[in-house]
Amino acid sequence: MVLDPLHWQIRLAQEDDAPWNEAAIGLDDLAQSIRLICLTPKLSVPTEPEQFCDALSYIDRVPAEAIPGISKEIWEGISRWEPRVVLERVDVAQAGFAYFTASIYWRPRSDVLAELQRTDVDLMRVA
């Protein structure tokens, strides 16, 4: 499925040797936007201090606090800052010490097929 050509952004490199001039288009654009919302803390963008979410602030807590806190932050952040998607579910699991994964189930609002999508996000403290 190809969304309107207005739905694109520069692809962020996930590997050191990734090309710097590629675009994320359509569903890739939406998935990248979801990752950005999850991994960018509030107050980190001076022109939009409330944008994004504080999911990373929970990764040093015990799982009983971290999992619901991360889930809530991701749900609220995506619901507020990515109006092009409809969230279905956010599943957070501990993957190690100060390391959680979030599986985010969503669908594009404009998708005629309404096919369920999943974006996985690794949340961990970087020294």
Per-residue pLDDT of the chain (127 residues; tens, 9 = 90+): 444 455 666 667 666 665 666 777 778 888 889 999 999 999 998 888 888 999 999 999 999 999 999 999 999 999 999 988 999 999 999 999 889 999 999 988 865 445 667 788 888 877 6
Ordered by start, the domain boundaries in the chain are 22-124
Q: Phi, psi at residue 54, to the nearest 5°? A: -105, 35
pTM, 2 dp: 0.76
C-alpha distances (whole Å) from 82 to each of 13, 32, 36, 122, 127 are: 21, 11, 10, 19, 29
* CATH number for the domain formed by residue range(s) 22-124: 3.10.450.40
